[in-house]
Amino acid sequence: AFVTARAGASSALKRVKFCSPACLSSAVTTSHYATAPATKKSGQKNIVLVEGVRTPFLLSGTKYNNLMPHDLQRAAFLSLLRKTGIPKEAIEYIVSGSVIAEPTTCNVAREAALCAGFSDRTPCHTVTMACISSNQAITTVMGLISSGAIDVGMAGGVEFLSDVPIRLNRRLRKLLLSANKAKTPMQKLGLLAKFRPSMLVPELPSVSEFTTKEVMGHSGDRLAAAFGVSRREQDEYALRSHTLADKASKQGLLSDIVPFSVPGDSAPVSTDNGIRVSTLDQMAKLKPAFIKPHGTITAANSSFLTDGASAALIMSEEKALAMGFKPKAYLRSFVYVAQDPKDQLLLGPAYATPAVLAKEGLKISDIDVFEYHEAFAGQILANMKAMDSDYFAKTYMGKPAKVGCPPMEKLNLWGGSLSLGHPFGATGIRLVTTVANRLIHENKQWGLTAACAAGGHVSLPFTFLYQARSRIKERTRQLPGWLEKMPHKTLNALLMCCAFFCIY
């Protein structure tokens, strides 16, 4: 059953009877790994998030449309350097996530780093994992730190959908390649005779799953129907997302946004431009976007095509403190899970959340802050119902009981992908940074993110667990000023002297 309505949640978001989803496949494959288990082994490093930033997320085809992907990623890198004050030379490795690559800058991490002035000796690589590409960038950096290969790394993510690569028709490509090898005029004329006008039709980037030939919106519609999520519930959740994002933006809570100066524009871009606080009546007028005429997913309750970039500074705790940084959060644990891409494409959070909680020995009630990726309102609500269902837990996960679902007063309180936007390769870092910032703002301890993603033959959800450093920072602020300014090594020496004195 769905989460009980609580303060601030819409009246329609109430507990309803769970209907067993007959269309869901019972065959589920799961795989997960972690680099930061709950119980630290001797000598294992604590990994911390020092800071995270992002460019404003803009609707594709708007102010960023004359740029290139590496321009946005470069801006995010430079903004992170300025915000933290860390020198470029201290960054030992850079990993970026991206989905639809610009052919001239396939390794966008490398090109953006060089354009940002990083040394050509700084290794960089780019990963792609659909909507969790920058999550993969983060965990790759975590793995490098955990293994001892580096102490300081930068994770990035970028997506630029204003200019996607459109290819020539494959038959025409083959004809042109053959023409390039033709040596005599007769051979070239023979190839010309094979030309057909239909070859001029270009090939657009595919938006469907390769294995199922189904677009994600169709999966979302079927998932919402299977879990009994109504059109009204989806519209109400989407309106909630936009309302909370608008409120957070006006209150200055979206501090991860750094202004970006678009060449040719007099004023820098400083806010997201996809936030639209509408009304339920206006949203109800929209027609279904995928399954017509009876589908429930519309443009109003779906995330939109977005341009944007993000970046995060990740370090070992020891190195961060030695360099004078006060990290925002510990990066504690992560899990990747894969399911059937046909019927369970968007159910990742329902599978990954229990896995990471079990790894850390926590319950859903222990988590203070939740940030879940909002691909569709129906996807979020379906996952909530799955997590709050004993039937789902027993039948599809082999668990004795449900894990429970996040309470609405803890979930996505500063908006989400439905309102802020969803640049495929950059959203993961936004989720991570938002959790850390909310933990500090709300003076809480534990936070969790989760995201579903397209994945070809599997879906690849992602869950991340944090332990906030905000309480540690509160204790630090209570120290005398002269002690606050004391170098870390000197303070350690002083504490050692006090300890020996007490023992003596």
Residues 6+ apart with CB under 8 A from 478: none
Sign of CA dihedral 230, 234, 235, 237: positive
What are 248-255's contacts with CB under 8 Å, separation 24+?
248/413, 248/414, 248/415, 249/275, 249/415, 253/414, 253/437, 253/441, 254/414, 254/420, 255/437
Name the residue type at position 129: M
- Which residue among 452, 497, 498, 502 is the active-site one? 452
Determine the Cα–Cα distance for residues 228 and 357; give it in Å rounded to an integer.
27
Buried b or exposed e, range 112-134, using 16+ CB within 10 angstroms: bbebbebeeebebebbbbbbbbb
Tell me which residue of 393, 328, 301, 300 sits closest to 354, measured CA to CA: 393
- Which residue among 23, 131, 405, 498 is the active-site one? 131
- Dig out the tokens for 38 from the structure: 């709950």
Determine the Cα–Cα distance for residues 357 and 312; give it in Å rounded to an integer.
24
> In the chain, what is the greatest distance between 2 CA atoms, to the nearest angstrom?
100
452 classed as catalytic: yes
Distances (CA, A) of 68 to 63, 65, 260: 12, 8, 14
Cis peptide leading into residue 56 (ω within 30°):
no
115 classed as catalytic: no
Enzyme catalytic residues: 131, 452
